[in-house]
Amino acid sequence: MFRFRESFAPMGAAARGLLLLAGVAGLPALAQTFPPESTARGVTVQTRPRPEFDPLGVRAGAFRLDAAAEAGLSYNDNVFATRRDRTGDGFGAWSLDAGLRSDWTRHGVGVTASYSEVRHFSQTILDWRDWSVGAFGRLDIGGSSSVEARYNHLRQHLDVFSVDIQQAGLSRPAPYDVDEFQVSGNARLNRLFLTGLLNYRIYQFEDVSFGNRVAPLSQNDHKTWLAALGSGYALAPGRLVTLIGRIQEIRYDDAISRGRDSFTWEILTGFQYDFDGVWQARFGIGYRQRNYDSPQIKNLEGLALEGEVIWTPTLLTTVTFGVRRTVEESIALSQVSYTRSLAQLRVDHELLRNVILGAELGFDRREYETHLRATDMYTILSGRWLINRNMSLSASYQFLTRIEAKGGAEEYYRNLFQVRLRFAL
């Protein structure tokens, strides 16, 4: 699966939910045989169930507890994302996540929590902690309709390689909090599929000290709500034409930032299509317009795009290509927002039943309202060894380079090596 990185993007999160349907030396080789559920149409290398290696969780009456802890070491040869005077450093990283969910045949409730932390060996200014807690409840209506309510609180950060952080002259992560409230629902009427979502988020940024200065990032505190409606008509099983509409309003708390208040609308039409079990695709294309309250800020309008193509040439290999084009907020007061275009190509291969290899190539381009431009290209090589139900070992290498930098953005490149050991219930 793709990992669209860095900022917390309300528009992108809703988009993904509304495109309908919304071997190791010394070890014995494992036979590459698959149960029926592992070879069903639409199953990929990453989503394939592996009953002999998947964690069982802990049963507690009508509930199931899933939890995992992960720890490892990493090395980054350019921790400050600079073109000159490159600084390398190693760091330790660990994370915990847990979820308690009902195991009922109808309806559902649950709570989730996660924590992650990074500690550098030398450059402790770059250390960060993220965490989240959440709860949800789902009401099933009939056999094919449901309504779900969800709340999440997230503590997140922007890394030093973020263009916004670099524009602010910061050399340390910028933490912020998000409170998210969401109600969503879906229904099916014969061949017609309907889905809706209402999402409200509160963003609160911390001021960041560096040297004798303080970056007033709290001026970026804002609230946003997003409403989306989607429909799909099934031409045949697994083959739908889709129509999605979204509106979003953003309102800033600080008077100095209220000229950045905006209203956005977009509409996309497309399809979700399973061609032959080997090729499947979902695609949406349309138009987006963002209007700002301040007449001094240029309104944004243009192409809205999102899509994914999955090719499974064999049961052991999955190739996935994805694209997205969104508008996202900037924390730099002089920039307001930017258009983000992403393209990613990923190959996953099941070398053995318990050894998964991956390779990914991606492009991430940001176009600001000024002459500021930045395009990053990255390559990731990864491997995961499922030791047993409860343990897995993963390693990855990432090379990232900024191939375009205009208007004040800085070119740089970095190499990142990571090793992680995971324990799961």
Domain containing 264 equals 10-424
Strands (E), 237-316: 239-252, 262-274, 279-292, 300-314
Per-residue pLDDT in tens (0 to 9) along the chain, 425 residues = 344 334 333 333 333 333 333 333 333 333 455 555 666 777 899 988 998 999 999 998 999 999 999 999 999 999 999 888 899 999 999 999 999 999 999 999 999 999 999 999 999 999 999 999 999 999 999 888 999 999 999 999 999 888 888 877 788 899 999 999 999 999 999 999 999 999 999 999 999 887 778 888 899 999 999 999 999 999 998 899 999 999 999 999 998 888 899 999 999 999 999 988 899 999 999 999 999 999 888 888 899 999 999 999 998 999 999 999 998 888 876 778 889 999 999 999 999 999 999 999 999 999 887 788 899 999 999 999 999 999 999 999 999 999 988 877 788 999 999 999 999 99
In a domain, 5, yes or no: no
H/E element, 12: helix 10-18
Please give the torsion angle defined by the CA atoms of residues 8, 1, 268 and 271, in that order, rounded to the nearest 10 degrees: -170
Q: Could you give the residue ranges of the DSSP H alpha helices within 117-211?
A: 163-167
H/E element, 401: strand 391-406
**What's 144's domain CATH number?**
2.40.160
In a domain, 56, yes or no: yes
Strands (E), 159-190: 174-189
In a domain, 280, yes or no: yes
pLDDT for residue 12: 36
In a domain, 4, yes or no: no
Q: What's the gap between Cα 13 and its chain centre?
A: 7
pLDDT for residue 216: 86
In a domain, 153, yes or no: yes
Looking at the structure of the chain, the number of domains it has is: 1
Residue 110's identity, in one-letter code, is G
In a domain, 116, yes or no: yes
What is the spatial distance between Cα 211 and Cα 230, in angstroms, rounded to a whole number?
Answer: 49
Classified as helix, coil or strand, 311 is: strand
In a domain, 68, yes or no: yes
In a domain, 2, yes or no: no
pTM of the model: 0.86
Residues contacting residue 233 through CB under 8 Å, at least 6 positions apart: 191, 192, 193, 240, 241
